[in-house]
A and B are shown apart, each in its own frame.
Chain A
Amino acid sequence: MDRAAQDTELLNRIGLDQTLRRERVRRRGQLGLGLLFMAPALVLVTSLLLVPVGYNIWLSFTKWKKFKGFGEYAGWANYEKMASNPFFTDALINTAIWVVASIVFPIALGLIMALFLRNMRGAEAFKNVVFIPRILAPTAVGVLWFYVYAPDGLLNRGLSLFTTGDVEIGWLYQDNTVTPAIIATFVWQTAGLVMVLLLLGLAAIPRDPVEAAHIDGANKWQIFRFITLPLLMPTLLMVTILSVLAGFTVFDLLWVMGANYPGQRSLALAVFMYFEAFQKGSWAFGSAVAVVIGLVVLGVTWIQTLLQSRVDRMVR
């Protein structure tokens, strides 16, 4: 008998083959079991979220005809149409304003409030007051502020106290005030959450380095700048991302508060898309705008991962 045959015979006696086969069957069984457990989640997510996204991308390259529906391939026609649409450019600019504003204002305000309330007695009550708007629906908040900004509303009556004569500013009717006014409402609603998250982050900062710096004679500003701020960076980044995505995709507030603004569709890309598709019936064009919104979100997420890895390295 040669060596190889001997080996095979030995393996057969041990039953390695069978063990391998049994292992393979077990693994297949585990895969089946796992799929069974994941089935509802997988089916729902793919059929109602992922497939529609794919379909949307396809639709953006087609042409919509009345009574015929989506039909022939149209190439980049829908995307080219955007460039010449004045409402689209305005919507794009306004969306850029929203991105910047939703980074700067909620974070700045939330950070100041968090630092201010950190070691204060009775801070709980303030925290609650500032946080409550976040529980409310944007639709309800929009309705409330719609009347605050009304021409004869709370804000104008309040301003009238400081001037001679009545202030009659149509905050939600004028081109130059409508976006800042709605951004102010957005900040009013979301700063509380930012503050609470930052307070959680501040509470997690270890005392030792702060005390060490204090003993070494660092002043308050130096402690904040060189110890607290770097240690708070991961939380700040996370909160910034949450805030940008919320501000960038804001729709409800704009829909409710901009209801009487003649150029409502130019308030943001989200509104523009809804208007084109569901009110004008330009379905293919609307889906192209949705793809653009998706691309911007993708860009923001990409920048986030870049920053994330940098901050991770910095902290370590």
Chain B
Amino acid sequence: MAVDLNTLDFDEIARKEAARHRGRRWKVAVALLFSLVWVVPFYFLAISIFKSSTEYASNPPLSLPAGLSPIAENAQRAWELGNMGQSMLNSGFYGTLGAALAVFFAAMAAFAITRIDLPWKNGWFMLIFAGTVFPFQMYLIPLFFGYQKLGLLNSHLGMLLFYTAICVPFPTLVLRNFMSGLSREMDEAARMDGAGEFTVFFRVVLPNTVGPMIAVFLLQFTWIWNDMLFSTVLGNRLETRSIMNALLIFQGSYSSIGPNIVLTAALIASVPSLILFFLLRRHFMQGLQVQQA
């Protein structure tokens, strides 16, 4: 079919194209303006840690610092006042070991539920998953008294046990869903060749579940690292408290300690989870997709 060029209005097409481009630029401008709501507080944080206490008090909050040197003193004071070294070690210990144990135990339970021919499969799963139903406030008082009686209050072991327990149910859900989608042919083949259930678990199923296991490990690690409530209730001692609990020390006496130092402490406490996020963004996003399923 011949196209009648006279009916095509090229001016009109060009105008529409230009409008679309303008629309796109307008959109970017709006997005930039809107993201200021997020950028400005971060900028405020970023410059405040470079200010000395007198500088913070006398200059406008968004003014650039006079020099970069005060950060050394801010960090040192924050580190010493909050005993942050000890609490960072504690949180690192609870986070890595607690989340790793929880994910491993969850994988074992998910294996039993999806791969072993046992009665009341759903019942067992619901029993474990019930651990996510209740609000944290219902655990606090009984655990406090129970731990006191058992001598677990303010001990590393007690904290680790609790963090492991609370991180078990959610990974069990995720790994159960994942494992029930894994092909059964491979483990049947392994069983035919005389492999026991332990071999099937360690050699066949686990190696295929590494991806989701890393994803849930990261989610649970950040949860433990960011927890403040259970550390204040179950381990509120210098030797056992977590890093977020250590931040509260500054909050109580904020008037005597300058905001520049408290903000530095808050940033130091957040550095590990930020680094983890940027290094392992892909796994975090996978975790989000997992969370959605």
Map CB proximity to A onto B106-148 as digits: 1 under 8 Å, 0 otherwise: 1011011100111100001001101101111111111111100
Asked whether B135 lies within 8 Å of A294 as measured between CB atoms, the reply is yes
Please tell me if A41 contacts chain B, counting CB pairs below 8 Å. yes
| B34 to A, closest residue via Cβ | A113
Q: Which residues on the A side are within 8 Å of B106 (C-beta)?
A: 41
User: Whole-angstrom distance between the alpha carbons of A122 and B25 in the complex?
Assistant: 11
Question: How far in angstroms is the closest Cβ of chain B from A305?
Answer: 12
- Give the chain A neighbours of B128 by CB distance below 8 A: 38, 41-42, 45
Binary interface profile of A, 267-308, with partner B (CB < 8 Å = 1, else 0)? 001100110011000010011011101100110010000000
Q: Is A120 an interface residue (CB 8 A)?
A: yes
What is the CA–CA distance of A30 and B196 in the complex, to the nearest angstrom? 12
Partner of B44, one of A133, A154, A301: A154
Contact of B162 among A37, A48, A193, A290 (CB under 8 A): A48
Docked complex: B24-43 residues within 8 A CB-CB of A: 24, 27-28, 30-31, 34-35, 37-42
Determine the chain B residues whose CB is within 8 A of the CB of A143 once the complex forms: 247, 250-251, 262-263, 265-266
Check B141–A59 contact: CB distance below 8 A: yes
Chain B's closest residue to A58 (CB) is: B142
B61 & A130 in contact (Cβ 8 Å cutoff) = no
Question: Are A117 and B134 within 8 A (Cβ)?
Answer: no
Assess whether B62 is interfacial by the CB under 8 Å rule.
yes
Bound CA span A117–B32, Å: 11
Quick check: A188 and B37 within 8 Å, CB to CB? yes
- Central interface residue in B116, B136, B172, by most chain A CB within 10 Å: B116
With an 8 A cutoff between CB atoms, is A240 at the interface?
Answer: no
Roughly how many angstroms separate A42 CA and B120 CA in the complex, as a whole number? 14
Q: For A193, list chain B residues within 8 Å (CB).
A: 288
Contact digits for A206-236, partner B, Cβ 8 Å, 1 yes 0 no? 0000000000000000000000000000010
Residues B137 and A45 in contact, CB atoms below 8 Å apart: no
CB distance from A156 to the nearest CB of B (A): 9
Residues of A close to B145: CB separation below 8 A: 283
The reply to whether A130 and B35 form a contact with Cβ atoms under 8 Å apart is yes
Nearest residue (CB) in A for B284 is A135
Q: A41-B172, A120-B31 are in contact. Are A252 and B228 (CB under 8 A)?
A: yes
Does B269 reach chain A (CB closer than 8 Å)? yes
User: How near does chain B come to A132, taking the closest CB pair, in angstroms?
Assistant: 8
Bound-complex Cα distance A153 to B45 (A): 12
Residue among B119, B140, B166, B222 making CB contact with A48, cutoff 8 Å: B166
Measured CB to CB, the nearest residue on chain B to A54 is B142
Chain A's closest residue to B262 (CB) is A143
Contact of A45 among B131, B225, B270 (CB under 8 A): B131
Q: Does A145 sit within 8 A of B, measured CB to CB?
A: yes
Q: Is B274 located at the chain interface by the 8 A CB criterion?
A: yes
* Bound CA span A300–B248, Å: 31
Assess whether B288 is in contact with A196, with CB atoms less than 8 Å apart.
yes
Asked whether, in the complex, the Cβ of A147 is within 8 Å of the Cβ of B259, the reply is yes
Bound complex: CA A197 to CA B291 (Å): 9
- What CA separation (Å) do A286 and B108 show in the bound complex? 36
Question: Which chain A residues border B166 with CB–CB below 8 Å?
Answer: 48-49
Q: For the complex formed, measure the closest distance between the CB of A188 and the CB atoms of chain B, giving whole angstroms.
A: 7
Within 8 Å CB of B201, what residues of A? Answer: 37
Contact B247 A44 (CB under 8 A): no
Q: Report the separation of the CA atoms of residues A15 and B39 in the bound assembly, to the nearest whole angstrom.
A: 78
Smallest CB separation, A166 vs chain B (Å): 12
Which chain A residues (9-63) contact chain B, with CB distance < 8 Å? 27, 30-31, 33-38, 40-42, 44-53, 55-56, 59
State whether A259 touches B251 (Cβ < 8 A): yes
How far apart are B218's CB and chain A's nearest CB, in angstroms? 10
Cβ of A98 within 8 Å of any chain B Cβ, yes or no, is no
Decide: A38 and B161 in contact? CB cutoff 8 A: no
Q: How far is the CA of A278 from the CA of B28 in the complex (A)?
A: 50
A256 to B249, CA, bound (A): 11
A126 at the interface (CB under 8 A from B): yes
Q: Which residues of A contact B48 (CB under 8 A)?
A: 147
Q: How far is the CB of A274 from chain B (nearest CB, A)?
A: 7
Chain A neighbourhood of B19, CB < 8 A: none
Residue of A nearest to B31 (CB): A126
Contact B140 A274 (CB under 8 A): yes
| Minimal Cβ-Cβ distance residue in A for B45 | A144
Asked whether any CB of chain A lies closer than 8 Å to the CB of B6, the reply is no
29 pairs of residues in contact across A and B, judged by CB atoms under 8 Å: A27-B117, A30-B116, A31-B118, A34-B116, A37-B112, A38-B128, A40-B105, A40-B108, A41-B172, A48-B161, A48-B166, A49-B131, A129-B38, A130-B38, A135-B270, A137-B228, A137-B273, A139-B228, A139-B244, A143-B250, A144-B45, A145-B41, A147-B44, A148-B44, A154-B41, A249-B137, A283-B145, A293-B137, A294-B137
Q: Which residues of A contact B (CB under 8 A)?
A: 27, 30-31, 33-38, 40-42, 44-53, 55-56, 59, 113, 116-117, 120-123, 126, 129-130, 132-133, 135-140, 143-148, 150, 153-154, 157, 188, 193, 196-197, 200-201, 235, 238, 242, 248-249, 251-252, 255-256, 259, 269-270, 273-274, 277-278, 283, 286-287, 289-291, 293-294, 297-298, 301
